Amino acid sequence: MKVFLDGKLVDQEEARISVFDHGLLYGDGIFEGIRIYSNCVFKLDAHLERLERSARAILLELPWSRQEIADAVCDTCRANNLTDGYVRLVVTRGRGTLGLNPYQCSNPQLIVIADKIQLYPEEIYSLGMKIMTVPTQRIGTGSMPPAIKSLNYLNNVLAKIEAVNAGFMEAIMMNNQGTVAECTGDNIFIVQKGVIYTPPTSAGALEGITRNVVVEMAEEAGLKIEERNLTRYDLWVAQECFLTGTAAEVVPISEIDGRKIGDGAPGPVTVGFMENYKKKVTRDGTFL
Ligand code: PMP
């Protein structure tokens, strides 16, 4: 496999970065996860725009233009003959000292890894996924804004460990106000009395690209969709619930904290989004 690193494509064994890179030492850096469907990079511009926002928020000046980053993504897919898959785009702070100061770092690294994607098992999409709320809270917007897609995912990793240890694949994280933020790697939606709700980014949700696509699809279909703070109770009594993410797409939820959602099978609104999303991904892309 070829990996893009330091301006060129190299064999994966040759793709090495400095142990002094603050991406490694402090999780100081940013990333994007992007999908390729039928030779098209889905929503590439939206991903690069979010990457730029993350960079701006952590005062990391990107030494590459948006076009140069887009070219790196496309070149890496082509070099690996990838027509369908997943791209991990990483920008590190670069090499620094053992101290924390990012201003002493130089040489931020742009890394592009393109590979096949392993989705959840097929039965999750037909039967729904059981999930739980976990004790680890999503880090507060005043501590480290979850809107920054940073390399520092320990908060999410701790929540994931709690879920996996309890026998679940995903976890719902609450914020320090006690309302729902998001899952460890996905956004969350519920449907109640014909209205679709998702937590606002101020509650600690990432502005997911897939989340935005769901908002677009709802508006196109004339469905009511609103951002609202949600409690655990709201989740427990929801008629439908689903997760969204670049890798997972639209995932139906059948049970939360032991409470069946709706009748325990994927509901009609969720199934509609799942089907429509599959059509969208091949339409709105940048050709390789
Ligand atoms: N929340 C978190 C914490 C994530 O890491 C992700 C991406 N994996 C998402 C939500 C979903 O965002 P997107 O739809 O842009 O993949």
Ligand 1 centroid from CA 108, angstroms = 23
Taking every pair of Cα atoms in the chain, the longest distance, rounded to a whole number of angstroms, is 56
CB distance 210 to ligand 1 below 6 Å: yes
Q: For residue 175, count CB atoms less than 10 angstroms from its CB and return exposed for 0-12, middle for 13-18, buried for 19 or more.
A: buried
**Structural element, H or E, at residue 276:** helix 268-280
Q: What is the pLDDT of residues 204-240, one digit of tens each?
A: 999 999 999 999 999 999 999 999 999 999 999 999 9
Give the whole-number percent of the chain exceeding pLDDT 70. 100
Q: What is the pLDDT of residues 171-206, one digit of tens each?
A: 999 999 999 999 999 999 999 999 999 999 999 999
Work out which ligand 1 atom sits closest to the CA atom of 246.
16
Work out which ligand 1 atom sits closest to the CA atom of 205.
1
Please answer whether residues 26 and 100 qualify as being in contact, where contact means their C-beta atoms are separated by less than 8 angstroms: yes
Residue 72 DSSP code: H
Work out which ligand 1 atom sits closest to the CA atom of 184.
3
Ligand 1 centroid from CA 207, angstroms = 8
Q: Is the pLDDT of residue 11 over 90?
A: yes
pLDDT band at 169 (very low <50, low <70, confident <90, very high): very high
Ligand 1 centroid from CA 124, angstroms = 18
Q: For residue 121, count CB atoms less than 10 angstroms from its CB and return exposed for 0-12, middle for 13-18, buried for 19 or more.
A: exposed
Tell me which residue of 129, 119, 121 sits closest to 256, measured CA to CA: 129
**Structural element, H or E, at residue 200:** none
Work out which ligand 1 atom sits closest to the CA atom of 146.
3
Mean pLDDT of the chain: 97
Residue 23 and residue 150: Cα distance in Å, rounded? Answer: 9
In the chain the domains, ranked by start, together with CATH numbers, are 2-115 (3.30.470.10), 122-285 (3.20.10.10)
CB distance 204 to ligand 1 below 6 Å: no
Q: What is the pLDDT of residues 44-89, one digit of tens each?
A: 999 999 999 999 999 999 999 999 999 999 999 999 999 999 999 9
* Residue ID of nearest Cα to ligand 1 atom 13: 208
Tell me which residue of 231, 222, 233, 235 sits closest to 194, measured CA to CA: 222
For ligand 1, mutation pick of 41, 206, 284 (most atoms within 8 Å of CB):
206
Q: Which residues are catalytic?
A: 149
- Average pLDDT (119-138) is 96
Range from 138-147, 179-188, 223-232, 241-250 carrying the lowest mean pLDDT: 138-147
- Average pLDDT (261-275) is 98
Give the whole-number percent of the chain exceeding pLDDT 90. 96
- Average pLDDT (29-37) is 98
Range from 39-43, 116-120, 249-253 carrying the lowest mean pLDDT: 116-120
The beta strand positions in 186-256, using DSSP E, are: 187-192, 195-198, 224-227, 240-245, 249-256
pLDDT band at 286 (very low <50, low <70, confident <90, very high): confident
Q: Is the pLDDT of residue 284 over 80?
A: no
Q: Is the pLDDT of residue 276 over 80?
A: yes
Given this model, what pLDDT does residue 127 score? 98
Residues facing residue 150 across a β-bridge: 30
